[in-house]
Amino acid sequence: MFSLYVLGMSRPDARPGRGAPENRTPDRFNLPLREADGDWLDEREAQDGARPPLRTTVTVEHAKTIIAYNRSPDIGFDRSINAYRGCEHGCIYCFARPTHAYHDLSPGLDFETRLFAKPDAARLLRAELGKRGYQVRPIAIGTNTDPYQPIEARWRITRSVLEVLAETRHPVTITTKSDRVLMDLDLIQAMGRKRLAAVALSVTSLTPEVSRTLEPRAPAARKRLAAVKKLAEAGVPVSVAIAPVVPGITDHELEAIVEAAAEAGAQGVFYLPVRLPYEVAPLFRGWLDEHYPDRAAKVMAIIREMRGGKDNDPNWFTRMQGFGPWAELLRARFDRAVRKHGFDHERTRLRTDLFEPPQGPQLRLL
């Protein structure tokens, strides 16, 4: 039954190999409805009813700064770098989807096909790290969109950022759901041995049939776990993020993923219940109707139970954990699993005392 729903693709906007079942236009900014762009593919579709594959496009963004700061008390970092906007992985649950609405684009299919790249990231970072009075704290990479999504293989912006951080001995944490992180193992290993780098790989499901619709263009879980093993063997502090846990879809795999993380040599493991902010909620509901119509109502009922009767809880601390009986049961199961496999809750502490401001003629003039 599952495969029939996947192949049927009953929604008119649904595309095989993409995460969002539609290109829903957000209404909170009074944005206009999407229209065909008039290129030859649209003309072909209009003439013969064909469904051409969506093409991924990348637009260069000339940012003025590259380090984003936050004051959220329930996350473990106060600054981050995102080399890209949008993400080709197409994870239906991605809480970053609403950011595309700021660009007059849909958080749906636009988010995973109309991407933005910041090729000036390394230059901007070098300038910001060289400012007088800069206070060193770990920079988080991959907190919004994945730094190792497919376009990184060509653009190599994440690589250029890591080169600056390695040169200045600046601590960094990397979060990804791609084994492409191994492309930069040389830099990450050298930094990790000095306690300047830590990596977290997200593993949401060990079941290929689930992953293909939940996060359709992300590498398979086995590849991510193999990357965990290689990072651990290289001496890099590495953990597994079971993020998000989707009730009624992936929650039954919680213990199995903890066990797989231990077998791969992960130093730590953590989980986050699914969050559905803003436009993510209707997109997620559409995804459930498309792929799990038999349990869609049950899944949303559990999510709302954990979120105080709403699709999403934006409040600090509870937004990351949920509350109520289902959340407590999930927490108890996770705690039992991590004890069984010898994990602790201590996070890797990265060094900040090795930092050396970037050097160069222009910075010396400042």
- Predicted confidence at residue 317, as pLDDT, reads 84
* pLDDT confidence bin for 203, thresholds 50/70/90: very high
Q: What is the pLDDT of residues 295-334, one digit of tens each?
A: 999 999 999 999 999 999 998 888 888 999 999 999 999 9
| pLDDT for res 25 | 55
Higher pLDDT, 28 or 169: 169
What is the pLDDT averaged over residues 52-65?
A: 89
Cβ count within 10 A of residue 356: 10
Q: Which two tokens stand for residue 238?
A: 């590495």
C-alpha 57: how far from its chain's center? 19
- Domains along the chain with CATH numbers: 55-272 (3.20.20.70)
- Position 318 scores a pLDDT of 87
When pLDDT is cut at 50, 70 and 90, the band that residue 52 belongs to is low
Q: Which residues contact 200 (CB under 8 A, 6 or more apart)?
A: 173, 174, 175, 176, 238, 239, 240, 241
Mean pLDDT value of segment 137-154: 96
Helices 325-340 & 296-306, crossing angle to 10 degrees? 90
How much is the pLDDT for 347?
80
pLDDT at 43 over 70: no
Residue 366 has pLDDT above 90, yes or no: no
Confidence of residue 54 (pLDDT cuts 50, 70, 90): confident
pTM: 0.85
Determine which of 232-241, 283-292, 318-327, 357-366 has the lowest per-residue pLDDT on average: 357-366
pLDDT score for 27? 53
Residue 172: phi and psi, rounded to 5, are -145, 145
pLDDT at residue 17 in the model: 67
What is the C-alpha to C-alpha distance for residues 292 and 209, in angstroms, rounded to an integer? Answer: 12
Report, as an integer, the average pLDDT of 58-80: 94
Can you tell me the distance from the alpha carbon of 106 to that of 128, in angstroms, rounded to the nearest whole number? 32
Strands of the sheet containing 139-141, edge to edge, are: 67-69, 79-81, 139-141, 172-176, 197-202, 238-245, 268-273
Residue 7 confidence class, pLDDT cut points 50, 70, 90:
very low
